[in-house]
Amino acid sequence: MNVENLERALAEIGLHGIVEVRGSLAVLRMDAEGGLADDELRFRAVDAAERHGFTHLALEVVDDADRAAIHRD
Amino acid sequence: MIEPQGMQATSLAHEKERALVAWLRERGSVLLGFSGGVDSAYLASVANEALGPDRVLAVIGRSPSYPAEQWRVARDVADQLGLRVAEIDTDEMHDPRYVSNPSNRCYFCKTELWSKLGPVARERGLAVVIDGTNADDIGGHRPGMRAAREHGVRSPLVEVGMTKRDIRERSRARGLPTWSQPSAPCLSSRVQYGLPVTTERLAAVERAERSLRDLGISGDLRVRHHGELARVELSREMLALWLNPLPMRMIIAAVRAAGFPRVTIDLRGFRSGSLNILNEVSAA
């Protein structure tokens, strides 16, 4: 499982965010839902997560209060 | 004449139901572990008809892991069928082996249930204790089935080969309100393995799922408990509707209000045994 590679793969399909790893669950933190209501985009995102070794991909939309916490050292 | 595929399946399901009636009549009387779900409601309906209400006792095991909404459905179905019903409280929440939430948690819960129902069947002179396990349940990760075997509980739907599809089809034919009801496993199945099962966590899951139903989310729905984080699983159809900005905010607000600081939506959607898949990978 490689979080940087997954973030890159997701960014390539227009999903720019930070991925948090919780076992084989990847949590994609973004500031909007990113058009993921679209089946095709969602399938591509899930497929990318699986190709990088994750069994689950979940979306967390963070509001203004949370936004400050979205950074990685 | 070649029958359309749907008709062949219907006829096969009906044949299996006849085998089920014969199975039940051979036993003469039964105590059924009854949850009010699709399988046990169907089995109760057939048993009541085949044996008569005096020879069937449906017992509901109540505990914090049994959703209140499911209990209401169970009572309604029982009333509709004219079932004799008893309720017992089960104490799995006092068993540290259960509370610690290992991957075989269901074994301890079902051991508690069946060890209480066996004596009830003997006291009331009922020939056999049965459950609503169906043929599709065989082979999956079902540690609860081992507890059933150890306590001599029989699974007639398995023994006559009835699948979930057969059961839904025959339930519909019988006019049971449960025929299209989504599967409703216990609330503990939402809690990530290794995270202790507590009444507070179960209540948070129940509140969250009820709030989401109140918003209008239908079909398969699970709120998985990962500690401070909730992971909402919806059907594919619901994902397409609810992953838009405004509806998504409504989901987040509802689940936060239920007690989860962080709310996520699973992008693959509902998967039966979703936490088993996570656990298998973690264990590997």
Residue A73 covered by a domain = no
Residue A11 covered by a domain = yes
Specify the residue for token string 């082979």. Answer: B139
State the CATH number of the domain containing residue A38: 3.30.300
Phi, psi torsion values for B186, nearest 5 degrees: -65, 160
Residue A16 covered by a domain = yes
- Lowest mean pLDDT of A60-64, B111-115, B215-219, name the range: A60-64
Tell me how far apart the alpha carbons of residues B197 and B231 are, in angstroms, rounded to a whole number: 17
So what's the pLDDT on residue A33? 83
Chain segment B61-86, per-residue pLDDT in tens: 999 999 998 999 999 999 999 999 99
Residue A72 covered by a domain = no
**CATH code linked to domain B187-283:** 3.30.300
- The answer to whether the beta carbons of residues B52 and B29 sit under 8 Å apart is no
Domain B5-173, architecture per CATH: 3-Layer(aba) Sandwich (3.40)
Tell me how far apart the alpha carbons of residues B258 and B118 are, in angstroms, rounded to a whole number: 37
B267 CA: distance to closest CA in chain A (Å): 5
Q: Is the pLDDT of residue B217 over 50?
A: yes
So what's the pLDDT on residue A63? 73
CATH 3.40.50.620 residue ranges for chain B: 5-173
Averaged pLDDT for residues B27-44: 96
Q: What is the ipTM of this complex?
A: 0.90
Return the structure tokens found at B114.
């069946």
CATH 3.30.300 residue ranges for chain B: 187-283
So what's the pLDDT on residue B284? 45
A39 and B236: CB-CB below 8 Å?
A: yes
Of A36, A38, A60, the CB nearest to B263: A60
Chain A residues within an 8 Å CB radius of B274 = 56
B243 and A59: CB-CB below 8 Å?
A: yes
Its domain, for residue A36, covers: 3-67
Chain B residues within an 8 Å CB radius of A44 = none
So what's the pLDDT on residue B1? 45
What is the tally of structural domains in chain A?
1
Q: Is the pLDDT of residue B126 over 50?
A: yes
Tally A–B CB contacts below 8 A.
66
Where does the pLDDT of residue A73 fall: very low under 50, low under 70, confident under 90, or very high at 90 and above? very low
Q: Is the pLDDT of residue A4 over 50?
A: yes
Chain segment B136-170, per-residue pLDDT in tens: 988 777 888 999 999 999 999 999 999 999 999 99
B282 and A23: CB-CB below 8 Å?
A: yes
A37 and B236: CB-CB below 8 Å?
A: no
